[in-house]
Amino acid sequence: MAALTLVNVTKSFGKTDVIKGVDLEVQTGEFCVFVGPSGCGKSTLLRMIAGLEDVSSGEVMINGARVNDVAPAKREIAMVFQSYALYPHLTVRDNMGLALKQAGQSKAAVAKSVDHAAAMLALEPLLARRPSELSGGQRQRVAIGRAIVRTPKLFLFDEPLSNLDAALRVATRIEIAKLHRDLDATMIYVTHDQIEAMTLADRIVVLRDGRVEQVGAPMDLYNDPDNTFVAGFIGSPM
Ligand code: ADP
Ligand code: MG
């Protein structure tokens, strides 16, 4: 069964059609990257997959169930945003453990899960700090750690590296690739960065103005783009 299926998904805000009929199937364990210009609907699509935004028409199915038929706490989806969205008054440990605590897990169980995720991301030395005491890169690692703690089956990333400087972008990208291997999870990753798309993706979905322009493995898109728009986005020689 596909991890994610989109069937003719559309979204309008008032009279503006933003997503204009997207069909897509993502297999379990796949790393699928969405690319496309600013305003083409990447974040809107991701928010609909997360169930944070209703579709105007069509279906979003996760492991065969409509996303809105599953209670939010049971969705097994984690989303990592560009803005880290950490709670400033909580320590790193409490930020990472909050969702588990809210789900009613015991203190000991929460601590164990947080310790495990912290070890994966080398966050142990930071657990007692608050977000204001962290660098941008460290905050983003905490945001990723908070997503891992919930052991989701589906990770949704919305331009998670775009606020980091170049060196940190590379380091964090390598960490995300490693997590994908270690966790065996399905990942949907939005970026407008060609290098991120080419290095992380099993498959790239090129979006343009609310529609899928082309889908394929990175090297297939690179070598055989359907048109100059795709070539431009993937960085193929024209
Ligand atoms: P991207 O992430 O690809 O840059 P978005 O999904 O954020 O694009 O936005 C796609 C389009 O939808 C943009 O034109 C944006 O202005 C519009 N849009 C997004 N969210 C809303 C909203 N809540 N209300 C009205 N328009 C919106
Ligand atoms: Mg966006």
The yes-or-no verdict on residue 205 having pLDDT over 90 is yes
Mean pLDDT (the chain) is 93
Q: Where are the alpha helices (DSSP H) in 184-217?
A: 194-200
State residue 22's pLDDT score. 98
Residue located nearest, by CA, to atom 23 of ligand 1: 13
> How many CB atoms within 10 Å of residue 182?
10
Lay out the sheet containing 16-26: strands in order across: 16-26, 4-13, 57-62, 65-66
Joined together, the tokens standing for residue 53 give 């935004």
- Ligand 2 centroid – CA 113 distance (Å): 30
Spatial contact of 190 and 176, defined as CB atoms under 8 Å apart:
no
- Ligand 2 centroid – CA 89 distance (Å): 27
**Ligand 1: nearest atom to the Cα of 37:** 3
Q: What is the mean pLDDT of residues 8-28?
A: 97
Q: ipTM surpassing 0.95, yes or no? A: yes
Give the residues surrounding ligand 1 with Cβ less than 6 Å away. Answer: 13, 18, 36, 38-44
- Ligand 1 centroid – CA 53 distance (Å): 12
Q: What is the mean pLDDT of residues 138-153?
A: 90
Q: For residue range 78-120, what is the model confidence (pLDDT) as tens digits?
A: 999 887 789 999 999 999 999 899 989 999 999 999 999 999 8
Ligand number, closest to the Cα atom of 42: 1
Q: For residue range 40-88, what is the model confidence (pLDDT) as tens digits?
A: 999 999 999 999 999 999 999 999 899 888 888 788 899 998 877 899 9
- Ligand 2 centroid – CA 143 distance (Å): 17
Spatial contact of 156 and 77, defined as CB atoms under 8 Å apart:
yes
State residue 238's pLDDT score. 66
Residue located nearest, by CA, to atom 25 of ligand 1: 13
pTM of the model: 0.92
State residue 210's pLDDT score. 98
**Ligand 1: nearest atom to the Cα of 41:** 6
